[in-house]
Structure 1
Amino acid sequence: MPFFIISIAIQIALVVHVIKTGRNTMWIWAIMGIPGLGAAAYFLVELLPILLGTRAGWQARKKLNNVINPNKDLNQASNDFEVADTVQNSSRLAAEHLEKDQFEEARALYDKCLSGIHEDDPYFLFGRAQAEFGLEQYPQVRQTLDELIRLNPDFKNVDAHLLYAKNLVELGETDLAMKEFVVLNETFLGPEASYRYAMLLKDQGKTEDAERIFDEILKAAKVADKHYRARYKHWISLTKSELKDTL
C-alpha cells in the first residue's frame, strides 16, 4: 500500500477517534492541516499516555489498528494456528472469529479446545455459548451455560450472566429472564443490561418502570466522563430513541 494512502488512512482514523471520544475539535485541524506532525502530536499528547499499559489504551490501539487493517489480528491468529495447532492458538483464533461474527468457525474451534485437561474450561465454554447464540441455537446455549455453571460453580462473569439472561428471552422464558435482569441492572458495568431490562419491561406492558430505567441510563451517562459516553454511545443512543418515542 503506497505511503500516501497509509498516511491518509491514519489521519482519518485519528479524526474519527477525536470525534468519538469527545476530544477538542482543534485536533482535527491539526491532524488534517499539518500532515504528519499533527498526527504525531495527537498520538504523543492524547494517545500515548493511555497506551501505556491500561485496558482503555489497549482498546484504543486495537480500534485504530482495525481501521487501518481490519483483518490483521485474524490473519495473525490464523497464521499462528497453522504453524502450531495448540490450545492457546486455537482459542485465540476462535476469539477472533467470534469478534468477526464468524460463529460457525468460532464454535468449531471452541469445541476443539474443550478436550483433555481443558474439557471444563469456563472461558472456552463461554466462548462456545457466544458462538451458539450468534447461530441462534438457543437451546444449545442454555445447555452450554448450564454445563459451565455445573462444572465451575465459582466462576463469576457478568458477560456470561448477561448472555444467560438474553438467551432466556429468546427461549420465551420471560419470568426467569426478568429475575436475571433485576440483578444485572445493579451489577453490570455499562448500560446494556439496564437497557435490555427496560425493553423487557416495556414488552410486558410495564411502561412506567421501563421509562424510569431509561431515565436512569441517561442520568448516569450525563454525569459520566466522555470516555464512558463514547464507549457506550450505541446503548445511550438507543435509550434516547426509546424515550423520544414515549413523548
Structure 2
Amino acid sequence: MHILGLGLHVVVAIFFAIHAVKTGRNTYWLFILFAFPLLGSIVYFFAEYMGDMRNNPAARKAYRAMEKVLDPDRELRDATREYEISPSVQNRMRLATAELNKGHAAAARDHYRACLNGPLADDPDLLMGLARAEVETSEGEAALRSLDALIKARPDWHPDSVALLKARACALSRSQPETLAAFEAAAQLGSGLEAKARFIEWLVSVGQLDAARRIQAEIDQSTKHWPGHARELNAPWFKLARQALAGADAAR
C-alpha cells in the first residue's frame, strides 16, 4: 500500500519520527526509524510509544475504546476466567459488572445478590449495580429496595445517579404522579442529558407529549452552543429523546 508515493512502512516511520522529535526522544531513534523503517517502527512502538499511551489519559481512553471495538467480549471473558480461578467477592463483583455491561442483566443480578450476602451488604457500588440489574429485569420494587438500602448506608453517594435510577424503577411499578416527581427530581440533579432524555422517553410512553416537547425544547436551547466533544459524549441521549418523540409523532 502506498500513500503519496511512499510505502506505508515509511509513512509509519515518519509518524513515529515526528513523535520522537515532539517528545524530545534521543536523536538516534531518527536514524533507526529511517535506516530500518519497518523494523525500527516496530521497535519504537513497543519501546517508546506504548509507554506514552500508558501514561496519557487521552491515549489510554482511545486505546480502551479501540479495544472494545476490536474485542468487545474481552472483559467478560477475563472476568469469567478470573472468577473461575478464584471465586472471591471482588472477582464476582467484576464479573457481575461485565455481565451487566453486556446486557446479561439476570446473570448480573444473581451475582450482585450473592455478593451482598456477607460483609459487603451495604457496599454502595454493589447496591447500585444490583439496582441497575433489577431495573433491566423489570423488577421495579426490588430496585427501589436496593436503592433505599444504598441511601440509608451512603446518603451522599452519587445522588444524581441514584435519583435517575429511582425514577426508572418507579416507572416500572409506581403510579404516574410518583414517577413524575421522581423524574423531575432526577432531571434537576443530573448535569448531563441522560435524565432529561429518559424523562422524555417516559413522558411519551404515558402520552404526555406536550410535556415531553417542552423538555426537548429546553435541551435544544441549553445545548445549542455545546462544543463537538460534549455533543459526542451525549450522543446516545440526544438520539433517545429524539427517537421517542419521532415515534410518538409517527404513531399519530
* Number of equivalences: 214
Aligned with residue 119 of structure 1, among 94, 103, 121: 121
Paired residue for 1:62? Answer: 64
**C-alpha distance in 1 between matches for 2:186 and 2:53:** 29
Q: Which residue of structure 2 lines up, in the alignment, with residue 138 of structure 1?
A: 140
Cα 1:186/1:83, change in 2 over 3 Å: same
Distance apart, 1:151 and its partner CA: 3.2
Deviation at 1:52, TM superposition (A): 4.7
Where does the alignment leave 5 or more consecutive residues of structure 2 unmatched? 23-49
Could you tell me which residue of structure 1 aligns to residue 227 of structure 2? 225
Per-residue deviation at 1:96? 0.6
In structure 1, the residue matched to 2:154 is 152
Q: For residue 179 of structure 1, report the CA deviation from its aligned partner.
A: 1.3
1:179 matches 2:185: no
What is the TM-score with the length of structure 2 in the denominator?
Answer: 0.70
Shift of 1:204: 5.3
Amino acid at match of 2:108: A
TM-score, with length taken from structure 1: 0.71
Q: Name the structure 1 match of 2:191.
A: 189
Report if aligned partners of 1:162, 1:193 keep a CA contact under 8 Å in 2. Answer: yes
Contact 2:183 2:195 in 1 (8 A): yes
CA contact (8 A) 2:109 2:133 kept: yes
Tell me the amino acid that sits aligned with residue 114 of structure 2. Answer: K
- Residue identity opposite 1:153 in structure 2: P
Between stretches 194-203 and 77-86, larger displacement belongs to 194-203
Q: Paired residue for 2:85? A: 83
Q: Match of 1:73?
A: 75
SS at match of 1:119: coil
Q: Distance in 2 between matches of 1:41 and 1:95?
A: 38
Amino acid at match of 1:162: L
The 3 A distance-change label for structure 1 pair 152 and 67 is same
The 3-state SS of whatever aligns with 1:223 is coil
| Residue of structure 2 equivalent to 1:210 | 212
Counterpart amino acid of residue 103 in structure 1? A
The corresponding residue for 1:22 is none
Percent of pairs identical after alignment?
Answer: 27
In 2, Cα distance between the equivalents of 1:159 and 1:34? 51
Name structure 1 gaps, 5 residues minimum.
1-29
Name the CA distance, whole Å, in 2 between partners of 1:72 and 1:133. Answer: 25
Say if 1:112 and 1:229 are closer, same or farther in 2 by CA, change over 3 A. Answer: same
CA deviation profile, 1:179-204 (whole Å, cap 9, x unmatched): 12222222213212112223444455
Q: How far did residue 155 of structure 1 move?
A: 2.8
Higher relative contact order (CA 8 A, sep 6+): 1
User: Are 1:217 and 1:239, in contact at CA under 8 Å, matched by a contact in 2?
Assistant: no
3-state SS in 1 of match to 2:155: coil
- 1:246 CA displacement: 5.5
Q: Find the partner of 2:98 among 96, 99, 109.
A: 96
Closer/same/farther in 2, CA of residues 90 and 200 from structure 1, 3 Å limit: closer
Rounded to whole Å, the distance in 1 between the matches of 2:236 and 2:145 is: 30
Root-mean-square deviation (CA, aligned residues, Å) is 3.5
Query: Are the structure 2 counterparts of residues 216 and 84 from structure 1 closer, same or farther at C-alpha, using a change threshold of 3 Å?
Result: same
Cα separation, 2, equivalents of 1:171 and 1:93: 28
